[in-house]
Structure 1
Amino acid sequence: MAVDDRFADFNPKTCVVLGGTGFLGRSLVLRLLKLGNWIVRVADSAHSIQLHDSESLLAQALSSARASYFHIDLRDKRNIAKVLEGSSVVFYMDVASIDVNDFYTCYTLIVQGAKNVISACRECRVRRLIYNSSADVVFDGLHDIHDGDESLAYPWKIDDMLSDLKAQAEALVLSVNDIDGLLTCSLRPSNVFGPGDTKFVPYFLKLARYGFAKFIIGTGDNLSDFTFSENVTHAHICAEKALNFQTVSVAGKAFFITNLEPMKFWEFLSILLDGLGYQRPFIKLPANLVQYILSVLKWLHEKLGPRYFSYPLLAHFFQLALYTRTFNCLAAQKDIGYSPIVSLEEGVALTIESFSHLARDSSFSRCCSGKQSKADKLLGGGKVADILLWRDEKKSFTYFLVMVLLFYWFFLSGRTFISSAARLLLFATLVFYGHGFLPSKLFGLHIQRIPMSCFKISDTVVKDSVTTTVYIWNKVFQNIRGLAQGDDWSTFFKIAVFLYVLKLILSKLLTILIGIGLVFSFMAFFVYEQYESEIDGLVDNLFISLKEFMIYLMRISPVSISRLQHYEGPRKVKDLR
């Protein structure tokens, strides 16, 4: 779409979009250019702007000077002031490329960055500053929000670090309203999604890729509000107009922005995943169980660092997935004239279409890429690998259930191993005996007969088995006879110690070890396949740390290796003499 050449007749205004290369910032830039009466300065932390194939409008605007790009550092107020000089409006969007695990960087970019932007706006005589906040700033992570409006105060404590910093930045922006002629307002979209999304949708697709999106946390009845990205950018345009003409009812205030169509969080996620070929969530997990798992991951995050366990993202997802969070947008509709321009259904359809390259049948899925994983290689790549790696979930679960029942039957039932085996054989005999009397058809169902060949053993197999058993028996008898006559006392003590240790293991540890091994075999290989690179990196780091620790011990040892080598040489020379 070409830019309307008539925009010069409207005395175009100059605006700055901070964070203009991000998800929402890019959408806002394109919308401003389509309106045709703006000169847009795009500013972000990247040194240059990367244009997509679908952004011919932006490319044309950059070449005609209707748009320009500036590299900016929010921690440098002078750099910000140079970009803002001569502009009348600043749209302050999300900060791009931020590390959620680095508190200091997050604070300097979000809170200190907001202070620098405000100071630069006042210095450059900017008329309007519109801050893109989030509905999360009023959510404490512990209580539901039903039809919340702008009267909600900031919580005393916000569990999510980013939301806490966002709340501080928003409060700073609103507090300077009408100082030095600067008018401010803030928009609070809820659960933003759409084409180009880099956080919300990709995170759920990543969970689906690893097989974790099939679980529902809690009851699954919690409601949420969602906002399509184009509706957010439309709200920014509405807010700018309202600040210009209806100052009293808009300036210094915050407004919730949603699609006005609250729905169950898990239903929204199911529609999204189903549209991309992934399994809909269907297994409900107790919230307390997930909370316990999160506490373990939090401990690992603190001990091992964020490289392997990104706890903040998991905790935020847990809060979104468990609590009801719906918001009232009457103030936005009344004061800034906002109403959604894209429905929720249409927004989801557009999002699914834009993420088609991440669908289940695409190269994004590792199992479909044709590359054999290390876990598959370790298990031999056969039937055992298919079962332990959960290729067929029903089949793997059946095998796991059977193994658990056998484990209970032999080790947890309180009977001896021989009596358990005897009862199992008796049960199998009764089942097969009863099966033999069943008719070929029962209640309209065909009864499949078990062929006799399944129970037959060839004469050769029987002879080989008997021969092997007799050989082992004779060998053991000879060894026992030799030990009884005192021919080999060292072997006697070795066998005695071995039998004693075996008795301790069988009596105390065997049941625990088998139980742990059963759970481990059905979980460890599957988890390793999903996080292969992360686990390999962790192991490499452990080996490097161990190596550095050994070098450190050698350095602080009383007699260093170098001294030993120094004295070893003369001794050798003396011996040679």
Structure 2
Amino acid sequence: MSEGITAEKLLGTIMDTFTDSVPKQKSLSFFEEDKSNSVSAQMNRLLGRQKTIHNILGGGKSADVLLWRNKKISGSVLTGATAIWVLFEWLNYHFLSLVFFALVIGMVAQFVWSNASGILNRSPSKVPRFVVPEEIFANIGAEIGAEINRCLRFLQDVACGGSLKQFVMVVFVLFVAAIIGSWCNFLTVFYVGFVAAHTLPVLYERYEDQVDNFVYNLFGQLQNQYSKLDAGVLSKIPKGNLKGKKSE
């Protein structure tokens, strides 16, 4: 007959699941699964960094922007995102209105440019043409599609073949995300995530040791409190027989 599940074991399962949701160091996708068995080993890989933050973020220009290797570029990207959020969220501008106004301004500028030579009695100058490369849209669509498919594969793997603790953790995360989504619209959630991506990695890279110590102490205190709760209250609750009777 199998033993009953205690609250301390349940806490260990929750902590295992939390660290299982962290991607492997050899993979750069958020949705890859960590197979390690030891909670402390997983936390060391998460916070101790066997690889640098730059490598974990994929390296290259995107990681340089997120880690503020070039402060002008990173500041410009964050400022542009903030301006867009302020326009749509605070000033209540509409996307189509801004697009059409931008098109009107562009057409007026090109009209003045093309006719200024005749008014000023100068030789006609060639009006610059603005063309967006088609490869940009193809690359963006391919990247978005790949990430969506990776996310769907991960959710289906957890639902069909994953462990119970992974299933419970993923459902809990989705439930929390649904609650957060009910508090604000998609643009605000996207902007908050964008700002977090441009602030949390660089802050962690700068204060890695302090963050590690804080997280280790926090998890130690949580486990200690749940152990006391289990010893004083939860362990006294009668447990049902988890093993079904064998059919004759």
TM-score w.r.t. the length of structure 2 is 0.45
Higher helix share: 2
Q: More relative contact order in 1 or in 2 (CA 8 Å, sep 6+)?
A: 2
